[in-house]
Structure 1
């Protein structure tokens, strides 16, 4: 005789396990799917993508509804299984039901649907989004109540759920870039360019400027022919002019304006009126953000600015090219003077100019030296040593051995760096 009651119970258990698989797979798909790809589908007119996007924006409500539904069907399935097995095996069926339902839920309602969802999260999310939206609406009262209870319990322990930090979009992109590089999907140069673009908003002009000790400047009090000669011998098209002291910048001389003036003077350098063709200098604070400075360059349609500290003292200069190089790497043309700032040695060490920035050093050697407290290699040594080191003095910081090889007065000009090299006894 057919036991229709037992058959209906088994069928109900099967339906509940299927629903559990749906909830588990939907949760994985909608949390693992790329919001950028979903947004792209939405822009192409997909209504399912629009629904999925709204669900992903309300992630707390989404996960809450799916967890409520999942637990409800799992508990119901377990209860039905226990009831059915008790009718067949008596009280011992509780143990059988526990093992059987654990295996069924684990394999068919958790691992299998989650694996399928993680393989193609965007496609899975687009398929289930309309149904999940209905589930979220149905369980909304329960979800809201549960959330309030959880927050009240957390507040008893001094934890406020509203204060949780959400990972920014830039950090998410940076993590994806680093992961792609680690897995071989991006070359180091591509990773560096993308990383530099993301870092632009966190940098200041003082991080990329040409320091005043490396600036090429002209003395406005020199004779015109001497100024013209120095300007023509320079590899740069824009040169600051100073008068009386090097801190007193009175103008910027552009090579194109100089050539026009020379032509107008019939080639006689002595007749060139240098002050008349110079442009007024533009001073910017050293704390100006690099993104703001880039926008200012584009707005003013100029490429050159002098950097000053809080006391108005000239610290260096920054150009549009400096900012672009920070993103795409060094730009060299036929007039650039090549300076070997980082020179690998046969023994595996590296000779570094003290003025080389830590960011450039990390890029060149694929290191991760910190640049929070110092901008240059010499600055890092002085900061870590808490003193101005002597020649041949060596230190080990952050897994790198720094040996001072040259020093000019209070400036460290040359360093020998070697990775993971111990200090001599």
Structure 2
């Protein structure tokens, strides 16, 4: 090297700095690749992605070859720079070379290439695999020795290397990933994905039709009343009970309605003959579990009961699907008879409406950890059942009780905005 001219040494120094930039950018690019996108591209037979995936299967070997190359060229560059500086400035050139080379490597071989690689990892990492893969094969004995010593030191420090680098996402991490997807996932699809993640936080008690609103067939009613009820029912499945809703005998599907309205339908016993056994659901069952249970049992409707076996309400497959995809209409007035819009500011609410439904349809933020219905939420705040209509501010929302009946609040007039 002493026989080389200063010009040749400068060219060599430039090449070494370029090599250092290559190793630095390769390290950052490979380590910042999106593992899920990389896996997807590899499955699509993207050759560069497949090469990168193979290299990342053993990150210790990949880092080993990159650092060996990077340190080699940096040390060699330091030696070359020192020789050049001594030839130009004499003994004072050592300090000058150290200062200048540190600045040059920091800017041109570290910060700049690593920043570019962090911004465009695929553009840097994929072409780099064409060089890193052969280098790893060529220098495998040296890499193996370095990794052996390094892994031995890691074990002495009692660090479990196998637990590092897991690609498994927690539920909250997946939620953050969906949130940050931005425009890459349509807003509606993004909301559906988030709703699926929320299913385990919601129980059937939160979305059920309350007991008081269940429309069923009471076998103690007159036969003519039952026939008329069948003719006018807006539901395809009706619970069949006797005397009290707690005494449910089955679920009737109205696909059999035709035979009920002919001369063949002569007694109530036929209702039970064509009814399916009722399917009961514990009230604390989460929606994700119940969705699987509906599929397993091949059911679309279930009776929600408490720990004492008393009927609390009724839950359907459609109710759970609406938690995922939203209501099947965007018109609030048509979506729920429990909510009636007067104008842009005022809305009449059925107090039996669930807090979750009110929050979803009106964009409110009433607490959902306590009472499930608006009636329960108001009574909890008042701590008594009012004798007359009253006004109150509940969690920042102005409410006016309009009707009280049978020891329960029936309707409430509210301002839509806080």
Q: TM-score, normalised by structure 2?
A: 0.75
Q: Which has the larger radius of gyration?
A: 2
- 2:81 is aligned to 81
Q: Which runs of 5+ in 2 are unaligned?
A: none
CA distance in 1, matches of 2:223, 2:80: 100
Tell me, in whole angstroms, the C-alpha distance in 2 between the residues paired with 1:82 and 1:370: 70
Q: Which residue of 2 is the match for residue 127 of structure 1? A: 127
Task: Find the aligned partners of 1:385 and 1:72 in 2 and give their Cα distance.
Answer: 73
Q: Which residue number corresponds to residue 194 of structure 1?
A: 193
Kindly tell me: are residues 176 and 162 of structure 1, through their superposed partners in 2, closer, same or farther at Cα, counting changes over 3 Å?
A: closer
Q: 2:262 corresponds to which residue?
A: 263
Give 1:324 deviation, angstroms: 2.0
Count of residue correspondences: 404
Decide which moves more: 217-226 or 101-110.
Answer: 101-110
Question: Structure 1 116/148 Cα, relative in aligned 2: closer, same or farther at 3 Å?
Answer: same
* Correspondence 1:28 to 2:25: no
* SS in structure 1 at match of 2:276: coil
Q: Which residue of 2 aligns with 1:231?
A: 230
Mean CA deviation greater in 39-48 or 301-310:
39-48
After TM superposition, list the pairs within 5 Å mapping 1:188-227 onto structure 2: 188-200=187-199, 203-227=202-226
Aligned match of 1:402:
397
Structure-1 separation of matches of 2:73 and 2:123: 25
Matched, 1:49 2:49: yes
Query: Which secondary structure state, in structure 2, belongs to the residue aligned with residue 16 of structure 1?
Result: helix
Indicate which of 307, 312, 329 corresponds to 1:310: 307
Q: Is the 8 A contact 1:223 1:270 kept in 2?
A: no
How far apart, in 2, do the equivalents of 1:294 and 1:70 lie?
55
Pair 368,37 (structure 1): closer, same or farther in 2 beyond 3 Å: farther
Q: Say which SS state the counterpart of residue 22 (structure 1) adopts.
A: helix
1:127 Cα offset (Å): 2.6
With the length of structure 1 as denominator, give the TM-score of the two structures: 0.74
For residues 211 and 14 of structure 1, do their structure 2 counterparts lie closer, same or farther at Cα, with a shift above 3 Å needed? farther
Distance 1:166 1:29 in 2: 18
> What pairs with 1:342-381 in structure 2 (closer than 5 Å)?
360=357, 363-364=360-361, 373-374=369-370, 376=372, 378=374
Q: 1:255 to 1:98 in 2, by over 3 A?
A: same
1:301 matched residue in structure 2: 298
Structure 1 stretches lacking a partner, 5+ long: none
Report what 1:16 is aligned to.
16
Kindly report the root-mean-square deviation, in angstroms, between the aligned alpha carbons of the 2 structures: 4.4
- Is the Cα–Cα contact under 8 Å of residues 219 and 242 in structure 1 kept in the other structure? yes
Q: Contact (CA 8 Å) 1:351, 1:414: kept in 2 or not?
A: yes
